[in-house]
Structure 1
Amino acid sequence: MTTSFRPVEAYVPHRGAMLLIDRLLDAGPTHAVAEVTVPADGLFVQDGRMPGWVGLEYMAQAISAWSGVRHTEAGGTPRLGMLLGTRRYQAQVPDFAAGSVLRIEVQQEFVGDNGLGMFACRILQQGDEVASARLSIYEPEDGASILKGQTS
């Protein structure tokens, strides 16, 4: 997989205020690592703090970036996907302070032929896990073979 990444906008369909992650640090066949510096203002920020539940969207966008890398390396473009649900979202903090640097790690557990997938995700701050969850995603079938590593 790629070791040098373009701006994250090249891999995710989110734009403007809806693009919440800042950088893609790593992406492999079954994992990705993204990073965000929590902004002092903007969408969802309240009194200089990002609510902890936004961690779900950070995780979803890291999965989207992983998928986008897979599609762009196969000669395509990033595709729209859907977050279907989550299991056991646990946040050890109620919110994330402005200026905090968060590392979002996602690990594919499976992606089916029908485009349904499950990812184990976690958010780290200064090396400590501050949130974790398993996310269920769906990407339309025309992209599922690329996500499974089948490029023919």
Structure 2
Amino acid sequence: MNLPPVAQLIPHSGNVILIDEIVSFDKDTLVARAQIKQSGLFNQADGSLPAWLGLEIMAQAVAAWAGCTAFSAGQPVKLGFLLGTRRYDCQVPAFVAGSDLTISVACSLQDDAGIGTFDCQLHQSGHVVASARLNAYSPPNVDDFIQEPPPNV
């Protein structure tokens, strides 16, 4: 299946997009690639990305999986929310500028209400450098979910 560029599969834009391409996708998994850019919104003074940003890279890969799923079903890409993680384990202090990451995502639970659990890993030079289990929510109607009632005056 020919997939569109990442920017059309996730509800992010510009320098906030941290993954570069989708390598493979199926109904339960996604593999993506990211090259750590020398400069960007989240880079540290030495050009690296802080280790905690691995969680966002994983979350964007989950969003890409949801976008690929929607695209393959002929549906629009929907907004989703990262609810949290059970354990983010990162083996590196930072992601060095110029390095390549492979991101793997496996959906272990997806219910009809829009709740999903995903096992994620970041690989660098063939080794797992970070892993986490992410919980995400994609509400059936995003507008109703984010609509804030007017304040009581």
**Fold conserved between structures, TM > 0.5:** yes
After TM superposition, the score normalised by the length of structure 1 is 0.89
Match in the other structure for 2:43: 45
- Provide the rounded CA distance (Å) in 2 between the counterparts of 1:123 and 1:11: 20
Report 1:1-152 matches (<5 A): 2=1, 4-46=2-44, 47-141=46-140
State the one-letter code of the partner of 1:50.
L
How far off is 1:142 after superposition? 5.7
- Provide the rounded CA distance (Å) in 1 between the counterparts of 2:103 and 2:66: 15
Match in the other structure for 2:146: none
After TM superposition, the score normalised by the length of structure 2 is 0.89
Match in the other structure for 1:147: none
Q: SS at 2:24's partner residue?
A: strand
Q: Which runs of 5+ in 1 are unaligned?
A: 144-152
Deviation beyond 4 Å, 4+ runs, structure 1: none
Aligned length: 141
State the one-letter code of the partner of 1:14.
H
Residues 90-137 of structure 1, C-alpha deviations (whole Å, 9 max, x = no match): 000010100000000000000111111100000000100000000000
Contact map agreement 1:88 1:134 (CA 8 A) in 2 = yes
State the one-letter code of the partner of 1:98.
A
- Provide the rounded CA distance (Å) in 1 between the counterparts of 2:59 and 2:30: 11
Larger Cα-atom Rg: 2
Residues 30-53 of structure 1, C-alpha deviations (whole Å, 9 max, x = no match): 000111100001111111111111
Further displaced range: 129-138 or 66-75? 66-75
